[in-house]
A and B are shown apart, each in its own frame.
Chain A
């Protein structure tokens, strides 16, 4: 049985956190391409919802990190969705990147929404989206 690795307490440095329509990984080079980066959504009706991708890039990571991404309505401190995963790094000097594909996430009302990024339960930062009603 595989032993569970201890979670690293070395805080990685979050170089980038971007929200986009689509993130693509080229299979042979593992390079990422981001299409349609945005930080605002204008919705005609509420609750609104749309699929989104979150791209993150880290450095200064060493060891094993359980990862967690919380999507929250920041104005209300309401947790809407959560995804968990893990990364491993043996060299602090390299950069690591990843993207997460989300299904349409519910946004019940206008306001500020955030993807909050945690590694080993350490809060690294967030990517925010301003959601506004479409002017009539």
Chain B
């Protein structure tokens, strides 16, 4: 009867004398300046945000997507002007998340329908193709 050790094949040595290789990123540590704490906490919503990511692991932005931010009554509106796409929410986080979801859905919808798009949607699809690639 083979022992447990004899029945198991390891793909590499169980013990190594090698030391861990130092992590050598191409960059240095992120240099950080002093932390600025605010005394007052007014509502702070930028008028423009540049999105560097969508909330979909299948999609990567290769160019930032500009979002115009505005407030309407109690709602925050985030608009990707070049796509004519909107996101809404009770705060900036919700509005941005809604816009990211909407842009992702638009990408997949137009990708599916790309052979039968009108002129307007074809232009939107070209913009999406220029800014987004599948991960």
Closest 5 CB pairs of A and B: A122-B52, A98-B30, A11-B52, A78-B41, A85-B32
Please measure, in the bound complex, the distance between the C-alpha atom of A85 and the C-alpha atom of B30, giving whole angstroms: 6
Are A94 and B25 within 8 A (Cβ)? yes
Instruction: Pick out which of these stretches binds chain A: B1-9, B56-64, B106-114, B116-124.
Output: B56-64
Residue of B nearest to A97 (CB): B25
Are B45 and A77 within 8 A (Cβ)? yes
Chain B residues with Cβ below 8 Å from A110 are none
Chain B contributes a number of interface residues (CB within 8 A of A) equal to: 40
Binding site for A on B (CB under 8 A): 20-38, 41-45, 49-53, 60-64, 76, 90-93, 96
- Write the A118-132 contact mask toward B (1 if CB under 8 angstroms, else 0): 111111111000000
Chain A residues with Cβ below 8 Å from B76 are 77
Residue of A nearest to B96 (CB): A123
Given known A86-B31, A87-B27, A114-B93, contact A29–B20 (CB-CB < 8 A): yes
Chain B residues with Cβ below 8 Å from A97 are 25
Q: How far is the CB of A98 from chain B (nearest CB, A)?
A: 3
Q: Is the interface of B mostly helix, strand, loop or mixed?
A: loop
Please measure, in the bound complex, the distance between the C-alpha atom of A124 and the C-alpha atom of B70, giving whole angstroms: 20
Are A124 and B52 within 8 A (Cβ)? yes
For the complex with contacts A76-B43, A105-B37, A118-B52, 8 further pairs of A-B residues with Cβ separation under 8 Å are A9-B63, A11-B63, A29-B21, A31-B23, A56-B30, A74-B92, A77-B43, A81-B37
Chain B residues with Cβ below 8 Å from A30 are 22-25, 29
Chain A contributes a number of interface residues (CB within 8 A of B) equal to: 57
Given known A94-B26, A126-B93, contact A10–B44 (CB-CB < 8 A): no
B53 partner, pick from A80, A96, A114, A124, beta carbons under 8 A:
A124
Given known A29-B20, A90-B26, contact A85–B52 (CB-CB < 8 A): no
Are B44 and A78 within 8 A (Cβ)? yes
Chain B residues with Cβ below 8 Å from A67 are 30, 32
A75 at interface by CB-CB < 8 Å = yes
A79 at interface by CB-CB < 8 Å = yes
A125 partner, pick from B23, B45, B53, B63, beta carbons under 8 A:
B53
Are B30 and A73 within 8 A (Cβ)? no
Q: How far is the CB of B122 from chain A (nearest CB, A)?
A: 25
Are B22 and A88 within 8 A (Cβ)? no
A100 at interface by CB-CB < 8 Å = yes
